[in-house]
Homo-oligomer: A and B are copies of this chain.
């Protein structure tokens, strides 16, 4: 069968195309009887308006894009992204939006995908995961006039609408927690170089140490890149400097760090205490349950969708941002329980 059109339904009921369109779009200006008849016809035939025609006429597609830049390489290793995606999907479903996924894996992808994203009226708006500060994608995206919400604080943050958590504060409270427990050689394993997330978390770490009167030692700052393996390596490189506690910028890296410590015959938290970041499901399941900073990952996604919808409907001046709360989840890896007993 050929696809049904508004016109077909109209003919069937004996009204005009316009009236059927009104019913479909929930316009109030239709008499109750006619509305009922039309609705019945739509139900029986299973008619559904053609999306392309709708978009063309209304200049709205009801599709938003989620862009994960090249610099976000850990989409399929770090549970953070699937969870974020899930949050976004839920937000889309709730608002009758479709979600287009743009996973940029290399330069060619970027060149191919960009025009599809920015022009061409195929998307009403986009959500971008903020990656590295110097990611050229961000600039290309700003240049295109499409409404855009950044997930995570972008570098030039006053030009963008974004959703983020207060990474400085979160990292501060993680580090402060370790200080309060009496550790004195507190190291950190950072996220990948050049992202605001990483910068902010380092800042929070430094703030807490400074405030407590500690000297920040570069040898106790080890660079990871959000992967399990990088956590392993970073921990290994930290060991010669004898830290007694480590704040680690992601739970995935923390699990790598734990592995490194096990390989070296060290115990958590007796020999070295750890605090992670994210509170991924794994964090509560490792043998040594991870003390960590819980991010409202799903909420970041749904809040992002919400803001984007508002932008699409009401314009985006001036740029807005929402900073969501984090929470310190105390489990075993920080040694809090151990120390209490003493």
The chain A residues found within 8 Å of chain B, CB to CB, are 3, 46-53, 55-56, 61, 63, 66, 75-77, 79, 81-83, 85-86, 89-90, 93, 96, 98-103, 105, 109, 112-113, 115-116, 118-122, 228-229, 232, 256, 259, 262, 281-282, 285, 287
Contacts and interface: CB of A to CB of B under 8 A. Distances in A.
A56 B256 CA distance: 51
Contacts of A61: 52
Contact of A281 (B75, B77, B89, B281): B77
A100 B103 contact: no
Given A86-B75, A228-B282, A116 B98 contact: yes
A99 B113 CA distance: 11
Contacts of A46: 119
Contact of A99 (B47, B49, B79, B100): B100
Contacts of A83: 76
Contact of A50 (B56, B103, B228): B56
For the complex formed by this chain, how many copies does it contain in all?
2
Contacts of A120: 48-51
A84 B206 CA distance: 39
A113 to B, nearest CB: 7
A109 B86 contact: no
Nearest to A263: B287
6 contacts: A51-B121, A76-B82, A76-B86, A98-B116, A99-B100, A99-B101
Contact of A82 (B53, B81, B228, B281): B81
A273 B287 CA distance: 19
Given A56-B56, A77-B281, A232-B285, 13 more contacts: A3-B121, A48-B119, A50-B120, A51-B121, A52-B61, A66-B101, A79-B79, A86-B103, A89-B102, A89-B103, A100-B101, A228-B285, A262-B287
B100 A122 contact: no
Nearest to A103: B89
